[in-house]
Chains A and B, each alone.
Chain A
Amino acid sequence: MANPKSAYSVPTKKGKSDTHIIVVWVDNEAGVLARVVGLFSGRGYNIESLAVAEVDASKNISRITIVTTGTPEVIDQIKLQLKKLVPVHKVADFKREDKKVIFKEMALLKVVGNKKKIEKTLKACKSFNPVVLDKTKQSVVIQITALRREIDKMGKKLKNLGLTSTSRTGAIAMTRGAEIFK
Chain B
Amino acid sequence: MTTASAAVQTSDNPGGPSANAAAARQVTKAYGAGETRVTALNAVDVDIQRGRFTAIMGPSGSGKSTLMHCLAGLDTVTDGQIWIGDTEITGLKDKQLTKLRRDKIGFIFQAFNLLPTLNAIENITLPMDIAGRKPDQGWLDQVVATVGLADRLKHRPTQLSGGQQQRVAVARALAARPEIIFGDEPTGNLDSRSGAEVLTFLRRSVDELSQTIVMVTHDPVAAGYADRVLFLADGVIVDEMHAPTADSVLERMRRFDGKRTS
A binds B: no
Contact surface of A with B, Cβ cutoff 8 Å: none
Contact surface of B with A, Cβ cutoff 8 Å: none
